[in-house]
Amino acid sequence: MSDSPKDRRRRYSAQIVDGPGKAAGRAMLRAVGFTDEDFRKPQIGIASTWSMVTPCNSHIGELAEHARAGADAAGGKAVVFNTITISDGIANGTEGMKYSLVSREVIADSIETVAGCEGFDGLVAIGGCDKNMPGCVMGLARLDRPSVFVYGGTIMPGKGRTDIISVFEAMGAYSSGALEATELKRIEQTAIPGPGSCGGMYTANTMASAIEALGMSLPGSSAQNAISAEKRDDSRAAGEAVLKLLEQDIRPSHIMTREAFENAITVVIALGGSTNAVLHLIAMARTVGVELGLDDFTRLGRRVPVLADLRPSGHYMMSELVAIGGIQPLMKMLLDAGLLHGDCLTVTGHTLAENLAQVASYPDDQQIVAPLDQPLKKESHLRVLYGNLAPEGAVAKITGKEGTRFSGSARVFASEEEAQAGINAGAVVSGDVVVIRYEGPRGGPGMREMLTPTSAIMGRGLGSEVALITDGRFSGGSHGFVVGHVTPEAFDGGPLALVEDGDMITIDAEADTISVDLSEEELTRRRAAWRQPAPRYTRGVLAKYARQVSSASTGALTDQFE
C-alpha cells in the first residue's frame, strides 16, 4: 500500500476486506449492510456507551446514530459497536462500587480489542459517565488511529435546582433526624429529571472539560445539554471530523502531548474540578506515552486560580454554565493570560489558539466565572500532600471554604461500610479525622469513592467540623475537608495501615502536608506488628484487577508493567 492520503485512509480496513483472500470477511460484512462500494471506503468505528444502566448514558444510542450518519456522509463507512458502562451514582456506598474504576480499564480494553480486531481506520467514542470517558480516551490512545471523543452532555436540574448530590445529602440529613421521610422521597422523585451526566462540576463534567481542553473533542462538546440539538450536531460533526483527520493523518499521539495535558490540568483547576481528574489524566497521559505525575498538578496549581463558582462547593450547575457559553470563553481568557499553550493541535485539525480566535467573552452580567483578577481562590483547589502518612502523595480538594488546616483525633475504619455505620451511629464527632483504609486500588479492590460517607457527614451538619482521609477516592460531588488517593495504600503496608484511634493527624493545605503525630520509632514498631490482610477476592475481574493495578499515584493502570 502506498502512503498517499487516500491510501492512508484505509490503512487498517484494507487488510481486512481487500483481495480474494478476504472474501469470507466481506461475506460476513454484507450480512450487516455492507455493499461493494462500502468496501472501498475507510471504516469508522463508533464506540457507543449506550446503556439503560444509568441516565448518563441512556440517550447515547441516538448520539451514536448521529455520529454514524456524519461519518457516512463524509465518505466513510461507519460501524457502531458498544462497550460497557457502570453507574457510580447507583453503586455508591455498596460493594458494587468496587467495579467502578475497574470499568475504566475494561472499557479501554474493549475499545482496543474491537477496533484492533475489526480493522477500523478511525474512531468516534461517545461517553457520558465518570469512568467511561477516560476509558474511551485511553482506548483511543492505545490504538493511535484518527479519533474524536464526544461527551454525552449534562443533565438538566431537578426541581428546586436539585441533583444527585442533593439526594445523597438528603439521605445523611434523614439518618440524623433532620429530614422527614416524605421530604427525602420528594427529593428522590424529582432530582433526576432525565438523561445526562450529573449536573455539577463533578467528575463527568470535569473529565469532559479536560478532554476538550486536551484537544480530543470538538470545541463546545463538553458544555452542551444531553438532550439538545447542539449535542446531536456535535455527534454528527465528530463523525465528519474523523474523515478529515484521516486525510491529514492526525492521530491521538499528535494531539495528546505534554503541553496539551498541561492545558487540561489548567482548565480543570480553573473550573474547580474533581480530584478524580488527577487519577484519570495521569492514566491517560501514561497510556499515550507522556510522563505526567502528581507534582505537575502542584506546579501548575501555583499559577492557575479557581474561577468557576460551580457545585459541589460552589453555587451553579453545569447547565447554567452551558447557558452562558460553556468553557470556550474561559479557555480564551486563560489563553490571553498566557496560561494555556495555544499551539497545541486539536481534532479540528487546527491549533487551540486558532479554535479560540473568534470566541466571544462571557456576558457582562454573569456571576458564574470570576475574572482573573478577582478569583475565587488564587491557587489551585487540588492539593498534592506529602508527609509521614503519604510518602508517595495524597490528593485533597480544598476550595478554602473548609479552611486550609485541620488537626484532630483519628477515628479509624477498615472499610467504607464500617465508616458509614459509625457515622450513622454518631460515633464520629466534631474534631475527628475519619480514616477509611483498605479501600485503595489493590486493597478494596477498586478504590471506591467515599461519596456516601462524605454526604452523611454533610447531612449530619459536621461538614466543617471533621476531616476524612482515605486510600480510596472521592466522587466529584464530595466536598468538605477530604483527602484521598493516600499512597502507598494501606493494603501494601502504607502508613495509613498503622494509624490507631486517638492518634493526632494534621492536614495542612498551605504547606501541602499530611502527617500523624508519631515518632519514626513508633511507626517502625507498629509496622513490624502489621500483617497484610487476605485479598477480599481471589477469582474474577476484581481479583485480576488487584493483581495487576498500579498505585494511584501513577494512575491505577493495569496495562503497564515494570
* Domain spans of the chain, in order of start: 41-156+194-356, 157-193, 382-554
Q: Are strands 122-127 and 77-82 parallel, antiparallel or unpaired?
A: unpaired
Q: How far apart are CA 398 and CA 406, in angstroms?
A: 11
Q: What is the pTM for the complete model shown?
A: 0.97
Q: Among residues of the chain, what percentage have pLDDT more than 70?
A: 99
Q: Which residues of 153-183 are buried (b: 16+ CB within 10 A; e: fewer)?
A: bbbbbbeeebbbbbbbbbbbbbbbeebeeee
- As a whole number, the mean pLDDT across the chain is 96
Q: Using CA of residue 329, residue 333, residue 334, residue 335, what is the dihedral sign?
A: positive
Q: What is the pLDDT of residue 477?
A: 84
Write the CA distances from 57 to 83, 113, 387, 389, integer angstroms: 11, 21, 40, 38
Per-residue pLDDT for 67 more than 70? yes
Reading the block at residue 163, the C-alpha cell is: 441533583
Element (H, E) at 63: helix 60-73
- Which residues pair with residue 410 across a beta bridge? 433
Note the CATH architecture for domain 41-156+194-356. Answer: 3-Layer(aba) Sandwich (3.40)
**CA R_g for the chain:** 23
Task: Indicate the residue type of 95.
Answer: E
The answer, yes or no, to whether residue 562 has pLDDT greater than 60, is no
CA-closest candidate to residue 96, choices 414, 457, 440, 444: 444
Residue 534 has what pLDDT?
97
Q: Residue ranges of the alpha helices (H) in 249-402?
A: 252-255, 258-271, 276-287, 294-301, 318-323, 328-336, 352-356
Tell me the per-residue pLDDT of 243-277, one tens digit each, with 9 for 90 and over: 999 999 999 999 999 999 999 999 999 999 999 99
* Whether pLDDT at 522 is above 70: yes
Q: pLDDT digit string (tens) for 110-155?
A: 999 999 999 999 999 999 989 999 999 999 999 999 999 999 999 9
Q: Report the relative pairing of strands 147-151 and 43-48 from DSSP bridges.
A: unpaired
| Overall average pLDDT of the 194-201 stretch | 97
For residue 554, what are the contacts with CB-CB under 8 A and spacing of at least 6?
A: 282, 286, 293
48, 103, 209, 475: which one is catalytic?
475
Reduced to 3 states (helix: H, G, I; strand: E, B; else coil), residue 138 is helix
Averaged over 37-59, what is the pLDDT?
98
Cβ neighbours around 373 below 10 Å, total: 7
* Separation between Cα atoms, residue 402 and residue 464, nearest integer Å: 6
Question: Edge-to-edge strand order for the sheet containing 122-127?
Answer: 77-82, 43-48, 122-127, 147-151
pLDDT digits (tens, 9 = 90+) for 221-239: 999 999 999 999 999 999 9
* Predicted confidence (pLDDT) per residue in 285-298, tens digit: 999 999 999 999 99
List the one residue out of 466, 98, 133, 64 whose CA is nearest residue 276.
Answer: 133
Q: Determine whether 430 is an active site residue.
A: no
| pLDDT higher than threshold 80 for residue 486 | yes
Task: Look up the CATH superfamily of 382-554.
Answer: IlvD/EDD C-terminal domain-like (3.50.30.80)
Please give the Cα distance from 257 to 254 (Å, whole number): 7
The neighbour count for residue 227, using CB atoms within 10 Å, is 15
Residue 476 grid cell: 466529584
For residues 395-400, average pLDDT = 89
